[in-house]
């Protein structure tokens, strides 16, 4: 994935809190996150542990207690240099954090234009970079939450160290577009939030046919819609077949069936929250092939 060297990056869409630690210990899981926390949830359940009550997959907060607790304190604030470091697409071609800035800019350019074509408002959503712990509109969060979207404050949260976890713990091949897929998926939840889809999910949050799974697969599809139009946004010069393959590999790596098989030794579809590896790949490809919001109707079509 190559970026237009002359593209101007907008770092105002990023809240860079890296290097800052906050007191506390709870974990907030937004509508699209919880990939690492899902593993910890499985471990806790299999071990008969306590402390998972209140874990809210769709925007609430929970506390996984000592399983996620770290010794945390406060450190002096370190001013972010992101605005100086990430100014153009040339920087995105050289630095991982600038690459994510460019992806965020591209994703939001596409959805802002698409909503405008529909005479609908699209509020720009910030992505917060953090290290270890942060405070969100959904409660205190940890890097163990994985990337997530928080509906109350309409922000995406990510500890960039997750991308290494994606390879070392989940077995993904990695690559720039694998990273982009994760971000685009979370912005898919922001799109859903504007359309009122997240509010309609209610308590239907587990099971292979649940509204929660359908919402996650729709977010994968919306990530594919952006990928279809990524070059049009002016930030990305090309997406290759290898790039798309990296994205599909990442989607498969975080499928519920693959995670459950790896970490609990059996697949239990009745507890799924995100969908199978095959479903996640298939719905990304639906969005990528058709490139329209209408193609991503996971609620009224078989999944």
Describe the crossing of helices 241-253 and 277-290 by its angle, rounded to 10 degrees.
150
Tell me which H or E stretch contains 228: helix 211-229
Q: What is the pLDDT of residue 60?
A: 37
**pLDDT-based confidence at 284, cuts 50/70/90?**
very high
The residue range of the domain holding 133 is 2-296
Q: What is the pLDDT of residue 200?
A: 86
Pairing of the two strands 14-17 and 2-3: unpaired
Q: What is the pTM of this model?
A: 0.84
Q: What is the pLDDT of residue 17?
A: 94
Mean pLDDT in the chain?
85
In a domain, 259, yes or no: yes
Torsions phi, psi for 130 (to 5 deg): -140, 170
Residue 264: is its pLDDT beyond 60? Answer: yes
In a domain, 272, yes or no: yes
Describe the crossing of helices 211-229 and 176-194 by its angle, rounded to 10 degrees.
120
Residue 224: is its pLDDT beyond 80? Answer: yes
Instruction: Mean pLDDT check: name the lowest of 34-43, 49-58, 159-168, 261-270.
Output: 49-58
In a domain, 224, yes or no: yes
Contact by Cβ (8 Å): 111, 121: no
In a domain, 301, yes or no: no
In a domain, 302, yes or no: no
Question: What does the pLDDT look like over 80-97, one tens digit per residue?
Answer: 899 999 999 999 999 999
Residue 115: is its pLDDT beyond 60? Answer: yes
Instruction: Mean pLDDT check: name the lowest of 75-79, 95-99, 148-152, 177-181.
Output: 75-79
In a domain, 137, yes or no: yes
Question: What does the pLDDT look like over 165-187, one tens digit per residue?
Answer: 888 888 888 899 999 999 999 99
**pLDDT-based confidence at 121, cuts 50/70/90?**
very high
Residue 116: is its pLDDT beyond 50? Answer: yes
Pairing of the two strands 155-158 and 139-142: unpaired
| Cα–Cα distance, 243 to 247 (Å, whole number) | 6
In a domain, 303, yes or no: no
Phi-psi group of 132: left, alpha or beta (phi > 0 → left; psi -120 to 50 → alpha; rest → beta): left
Q: What is the pLDDT of residue 289?
A: 98
In a domain, 262, yes or no: yes
Q: What is the pLDDT of residue 77?
A: 66
Count structural domains, the chain. Answer: 1
Instruction: Mean pLDDT check: name the lowest of 9-18, 165-174, 258-267, 283-292.
Output: 165-174
| Cα–Cα distance, 255 to 277 (Å, whole number) | 4
What is the rounded average pLDDT of the residues 233-239? Answer: 97
């Amino acid at each position: 994935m190559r970026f237009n060297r002359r593209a101007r990056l907008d770092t105002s869409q990023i809240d860079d809190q890296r290097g800052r630690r906050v007191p506390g210990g709870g974990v907030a899981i937004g509508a699209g996150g919880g990939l690492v926390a899902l593993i910890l949830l499985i471990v806790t359940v299999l071990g008969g542990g306590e402390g998972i009550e209140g874990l809210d997959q769709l925007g609430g907060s929970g506390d996984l207690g000592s399983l996620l607790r770290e010794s945390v304190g406060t450190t002096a604030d370190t001013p972010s240099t992101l605005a100086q470091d990430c100014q153009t697409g040339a920087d995105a071609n050289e630095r991982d954090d600038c690459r994510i800035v460019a992806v965020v800019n591209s994703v939001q350019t596409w959805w802002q234009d698409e909503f405008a074509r529909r005479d609908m408002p699209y509020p720009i959503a910030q992505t917060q970079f953090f290290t270890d712990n942060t405070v969100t509109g959904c409660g205190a969060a940890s890097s163990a939450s994985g990337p997530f979207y928080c509906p109350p404050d309409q922000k995406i949260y990510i500890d960039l160290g997750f991308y290494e976890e994606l390879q070392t713990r989940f077995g993904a091949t990695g690559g720039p577009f694998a990273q982009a897929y994760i971000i685009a998926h979370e912005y898919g939840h922001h799109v859903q939030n504007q359309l009122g889809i997240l509010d309609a999910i209610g308590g239907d949050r587990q099971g292979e046919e649940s509204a929660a799974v359908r919402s996650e697969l729709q977010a994968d599809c919306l990530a594919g819609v952006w990928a279809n139009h990524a070059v049009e946004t002016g930030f990305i010069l090309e997406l290759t077949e290898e790039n798309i393959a990296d994205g599909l590999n990442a989607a498969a790596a975080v499928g519920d069936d693959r995670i459950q098989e790896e970490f609990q030794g059996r697949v239990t579809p009745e507890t799924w929250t995100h969908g199978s590896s095959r479903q996640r790949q298939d719905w990304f490809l639906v969005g990528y092939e058709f490139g329209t919001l209408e193609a991503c109707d996971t609620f009224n079509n078989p999944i």
